[in-house]
Amino acid sequence: MISSLDPVGCKAFEVALAIDLFQELDKAPGTIVELAQRCRVSTRGLRPLLFLLASVGCVREQGDTFHPSPELNRFLSERWPDQKSQAPQAGDWENLEKAVRTGRCVRPPIEGAQDGGEFFSGVVETLFGLHFSLAKSLAHALPSPPLKVLDLGAGSAVWSLGLAVQRDDVEVVAVDHQRVLESVTRKFVAKNQMEERYVLRPGDYHEVELEREHYDVIYLGHVIHSEGWQASTSLLKRCKEALAPQGTVVIAEWVGSTPRADDYHANLFDLNMLMFTEHGLLFDASEMEELASRAGFDRLRWIKGAGKYPVLFASTDS
């Protein structure tokens, strides 16, 4: 059943028409790579578009293959004429077609050091409320001796604070852009009266100096989705080098569902990663495991806490 489309869904549908996706699917089903070739668009761009369209029922996802929806023709003739005016025709979303065709973001990417944290200074405060309960609920799965903790891309420091407020023996180094540390992290640390236990270390988390074999816990909270495969792998390798023996990297993320069609909001987020990051994407659970394995972690555990998505704990047996 094709659901009623929200404005971004309408825009996605409009782009699907513009790149002849439905015509190609009518000729034959295909995988993301095959359909990208046939529609002459980028694989990176088509991937989140297909997942979103699958979520609203405009295409059918079967394993790796996408099929046309049996209801498509009826939707096109009866409902699309009324819905299509809702597609945003201004702002960044106007450029969705270009992003799908090229696989490139439509404005300066939000990740990386280019904007010095300007974008994130505005959003990370809201994330605290969303994730603090989950962050606190993970404490039971972490070891009990005194803990040295690193919070990379700390933002409001929600993940490390979730542990620190429950444990007196936790000391934290929080890394983020100077602007975010000064305008957001410092405020949340102070609000929780944790100033004595936090060191704020400004810098790019790909480059900032990290102690070797030092940290018992490293948080990567909602960081890898804007980094993509390559940068996330190298970030995880940095984490591995900075971990003390028996240490754990805690990777908290949106996690793509299986099948991907099942989680519309996650797929909307994925489309945002296409629009606003250079290499970002929403990983599913097996892709997150693959990332961690590529970085050399061989002990992977999914911990279910007080949140929608489970959290990946990565460590090494050696």
> What backbone phi and psi angles, to 5 degrees, belong to 42?
-75, 150
Instruction: Please tell me the distance from the alpha carbon of residue 84 to that of residue 183, in angstroms, as a whole number.
Output: 41
**Residue 280 touches ligand SAM, criterion: CB under 6 A:** no
**Residue 223 touches ligand SAM, criterion: CB under 6 A:** yes
- With a CB cutoff of 8 Å and minimum separation 6, the contacts of 130 are none
Identify residue 229 by its one-letter amino acid code.
W
Identify residue 220 by its one-letter amino acid code.
L
Residue window 4-43: x/- pattern of binding to ligand SAM, with contact defined by CB under 6 A: ----------------------------------------
Please identify which residue in 101, 177, 197, 279 interacts with ligand SAM, judged by CB under 6 A: 177
Please identify which residue in 28, 33, 113, 190 interacts with ligand SAM, judged by CB under 6 A: 113
Pairing mode of beta strands 170-176, 243-252: unpaired
- Quote the least distance from Cβ 252 to ligand SAM, whole Å: 6
Cα angle vertex 153, ends 149, 154, to 5°?
60
Place of tokens 């790579």: 33
Asked whether 203 and 175 are in contact (CB, 8 A), the reply is: yes
Q: In whole angstroms, what separates CA 80 from the centre of its chain?
A: 31
**Residue 162 touches ligand SAM, criterion: CB under 6 A:** no
State the Rg of the chain over Cα.
Answer: 21
Give 164 or 261: the residue with its C-beta nearer to ligand SAM.
164
Give 39 or 150: the residue with its C-beta nearer to ligand SAM.
150
Name the token pair of 31. Answer: 């995988």
**Residue 272 touches ligand SAM, criterion: CB under 6 A:** no
Place of tokens 């944790």: 194
- Quote the least distance from Cβ 262 to ligand SAM, whole Å: 23
Please identify which residue in 8, 32, 154, 295 interacts with ligand SAM, judged by CB under 6 A: 154
**Residue 250 touches ligand SAM, criterion: CB under 6 A:** no
**Residue 205 touches ligand SAM, criterion: CB under 6 A:** yes
**Residue 45 touches ligand SAM, criterion: CB under 6 A:** no
Instruction: Please tell me the distance from the alpha carbon of residue 30 to that of residue 39, in angstroms, as a whole number.
Output: 11
**Residue 221 touches ligand SAM, criterion: CB under 6 A:** yes
Name the token pair of 226. Answer: 């804007």
Footprint on this chain of ligand SAM (rule: CB under 6 A):
111-113, 117, 120, 124, 127, 131, 153-156, 158-159, 175-177, 180, 204-206, 221-223
